[in-house]
């Protein structure tokens, strides 16, 4: 062997890594751009492969000096110079044992310049003249990779007839680039019932069908979505139908979502169909989502549909969600509606949440609406939360408002928490506000908590203040705890301060505790 076996393993790992990313690249429209990306730099893996080869070769060989020069030019992304250097290697050392490697890296440098036909000639020569080369698989893979630019579909089809899965998957991508009709026909055979093709190749084929939307591919995806027995492959087909924007797919997506069996796999397929409808831009797809939100066959599917209605972000969603909420008796469904309203950042959605939060109805639903208001994270929502707190006497509701205020990151919300912590008539509300302040204590808040401690007479509130100071990472909080531990009139308060100092793992606190023990 002319280069370490690890290089061959590396090639396979690189191909597998690329294929793991393929569905995401397809979904993002990143494939089919080889020409535009031709001049991108060599990857760390590619450079590693070249360096490993050079290191394993004879360091005293004069010819390898030329090879190293080519390597340096590739590192510098001097593609024209690298191609010339490796061509000179082949010309000057035609009998050298590493001519095959020079041909490969010549092709690599030409490909980086977008000279795909010239690169293909070098690869074809390598394969023809060096049939036992250790660079043979790399050359085959590169020929397949650039086949879409060279128009050499015969290369692709030959590779599709072989058993090397990694190259076969790259070949299928190239065939879609160079001859979509032929690729669709190949995939039709590949995905027939009873096909013995590798599952990964089948799934990759479905991704490619979805990326290359057309009059032939959409019907194929619809057939797969209806009849494919592998749930994972079926869900892939359904996903791409949602991305297609094809109106003809909507009835099928409705059919799939409407009639799931009691099996877990079938329910997952139905949920995939709902998601596909949520991605479809058609007004009719939205109407179907609303229909499922009102009366899907299971609570789980209804919850999903309600969520997707809210995600559409259109004004009609507020009316539709409101109607569902008012007609519904199931508390869990009503909670899902409230959540969807919280994701819809419009004034009307906030108004509905405020209405639910202020109502005299189910406390759990009111609490959900209060939390939903906090998710809008605007000053109008903060003011609404403060009004609810001031107007309501229900302890659970007031506690929920205090928690919701901590979710807004608003100075006005923090000021309200401080007001409650200082002067609320209800001790429990004061303690609750102090607790939440302790969870977000910055320097100013720590100073206020320390001042509150000094003026406080209620033992329970003082304990809560010590706990809040113990949750802070601020040095000021640590030093206030030391002050309490050293000289507070209450032994119980001193003990609690020492406990939280011990939890801090701060060197200053540890030294303080050691001094106490002396």
In the chain, the domains with their CATH numbers are: 1-212 (1.25.40.10)
Render pLDDT for 332-342 as a digit per residue (tens, 0 to 9): 999 999 999 99
Report the distance separating Cα 211 and Cα 200, nearest Å.
Answer: 17
- The proportion of the chain whose per-residue pLDDT surpasses 70, expressed as a percent, equals 90
Contact 406, 440 (CB under 8 A): yes
Name the pLDDT band for 16 (thresholds 50, 70, 90).
Answer: very low
pLDDT score for 454 = 92
Most trustworthy range by pLDDT among 138-142, 194-198, 213-217, 419-423: 419-423
pLDDT score for 301 = 92
Name the pLDDT band for 185 (thresholds 50, 70, 90).
Answer: confident
pLDDT score for 221 = 92
Q: What is the mean pLDDT of residues 363-376?
A: 93
Closest C-alpha among 348, 393, 385 to residue 369: 385
The mean pLDDT of the chain is 85
DSSP-assigned states of every residue in 467-511: HHHHH---HHHHHHHHHHHHH-S-HHHHHHHHHHHHHS--HHHHH
Closest C-alpha among 517, 444, 456, 443 to residue 484: 456
Name the pLDDT band for 279 (thresholds 50, 70, 90).
Answer: very high
Decide if pLDDT at 28 tops 60: no
Decide if pLDDT at 379 tops 60: yes
pLDDT score for 1 = 34
Neighbours of 170 (CB within 10 A): 25
Neighbours of 275 (CB within 10 A): 20
Strand, coil or helix: what is 484? helix
Q: Which helix (H) or strand (E) is 47 found in, with range?
A: helix 44-56
User: How far lies 165's CA from each of 32, 66, 93, 132, 171, in Å?
Assistant: 20, 35, 35, 20, 10
Lowest-confidence pick of 15-24, 65-74, 306-315, 421-430: 15-24
pLDDT score for 171 = 78
pLDDT score for 34 = 38
Contact 86, 102 (CB under 8 A): yes
Render pLDDT for 52-66 as a digit per residue (tens, 0 to 9): 888 877 656 788 888
Pairwise pLDDT comparison (250 vs 21), residue with the higher score: 250
Angle at 268 between CA 267 and CA 272, to 5 degrees: 115
Report the distance separating Cα 91 and Cα 517, nearest Å.
Answer: 84
Lowest-confidence pick of 32-41, 325-334, 491-500: 32-41
Q: What is the mean pLDDT of residues 392-404?
A: 94
Q: What is the mean pLDDT of residues 19-30?
A: 37
Q: What is the mean pLDDT of residues 481-506?
A: 91
pTM here is 0.68
């Amino acid at each position: 062997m002319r280069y370490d076996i690890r290089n061959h393993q590396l090639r396979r790992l690189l191909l597998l890594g690329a294929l793991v990313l393929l569905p995401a690249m397809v979904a993002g429209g990143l494939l089919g751009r080889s020409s535009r990306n031709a001049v991108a730099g060599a990857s760390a893996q590619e450079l590693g492969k070249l360096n490993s080869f050079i290191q394993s070769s004879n360091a005293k060989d004069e010819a390898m000096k030329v090879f190293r020069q080519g390597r340096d030019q590739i590192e510098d992304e001097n593609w024209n110079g690298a191609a010339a250097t490796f061509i000179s290697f082949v010309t000057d050392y035609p009998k050298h044992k590493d001519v095959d490697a020079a041909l490969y890296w010549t092709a690599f440098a030409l490909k980086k310049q977008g000279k795909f036909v010239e690169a293909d000639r070098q690869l074809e020569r390598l394969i023809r003249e060096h049939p036992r080369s250790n660079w043979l698989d790399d050359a085959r893979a590169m020929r397949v990779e650039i086949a879409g630019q060279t128009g050499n579909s015969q290369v692709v089809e030959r590779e599709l007839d072989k058993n090397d899965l990694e190259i076969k998957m790259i070949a299928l991508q190239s065939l879609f680039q160079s001859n979509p009709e032929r690729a669709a026909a190949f995939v039709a055979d590949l995905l027939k019932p009873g096909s013995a093709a590798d599952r990964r190749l089948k799934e990759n084929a479905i991704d490619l069908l979805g990326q290359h939307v057309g009059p032939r591919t959409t019907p194929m995806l619809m057939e797969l979505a209806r009849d494919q027995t592998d749930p994972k492959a079926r869900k892939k087909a359904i996903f791409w139908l949602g991305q297609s924007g094809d109106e003809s797919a909507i009835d099928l997506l409705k059919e799939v979502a409407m009639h799931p069996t009691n099996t877990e796999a079938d329910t997952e397929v139905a949920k995939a169909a709902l998601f596909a409808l949520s991605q479809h831009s058609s007004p009719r797809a939205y109407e179907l989502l609303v229909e499922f939100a009102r009366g899907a066959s299971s609570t789980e599917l209804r919850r999903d549909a309600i969520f997707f209605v809210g995600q559409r972000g259109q004004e009609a969603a507020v009316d539709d969600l409101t109607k569902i909420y008012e007609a519904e008796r199931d508390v869990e469904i009503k909670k899902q509606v409230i959540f969807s309203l919280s994701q819809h950042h419009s004034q009307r959605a906030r108004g509905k949440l405020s209405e639910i939060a202020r109502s005299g109805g189910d406390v759990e639903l009111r609490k959900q609406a209060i939390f939903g208001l906090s998710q809008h994270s605007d000053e109008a929502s903060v003011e609404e939360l403060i009004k609810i707190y001031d107007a309501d006497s229900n302890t659970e509701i007031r506690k929920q408002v205090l928690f919701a205020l901590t979710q807004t990151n608003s100075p006005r919300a923090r000021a309200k928490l401080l007001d409650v912590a200082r002067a609320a008539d209800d001790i429990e509300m004061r303690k609750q506000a102090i607790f939440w302040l302790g969870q977000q204590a910055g320097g100013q808040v720590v100073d206020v908590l320390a001042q509150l401690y000094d003026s406080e007479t209620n033992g329970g509130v003082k304990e809560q203040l010590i706990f809040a100071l113990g949750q802070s990472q601020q040095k000021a909080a640590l030093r206030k705890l030391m002050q309490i531990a050293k000289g507070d009139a209450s032994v119980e308060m001193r003990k609690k301060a020492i406990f939280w100092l011990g939890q801090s793992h701060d060197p200053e606190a540890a030294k303080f505790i050691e001094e106490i023990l002396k």
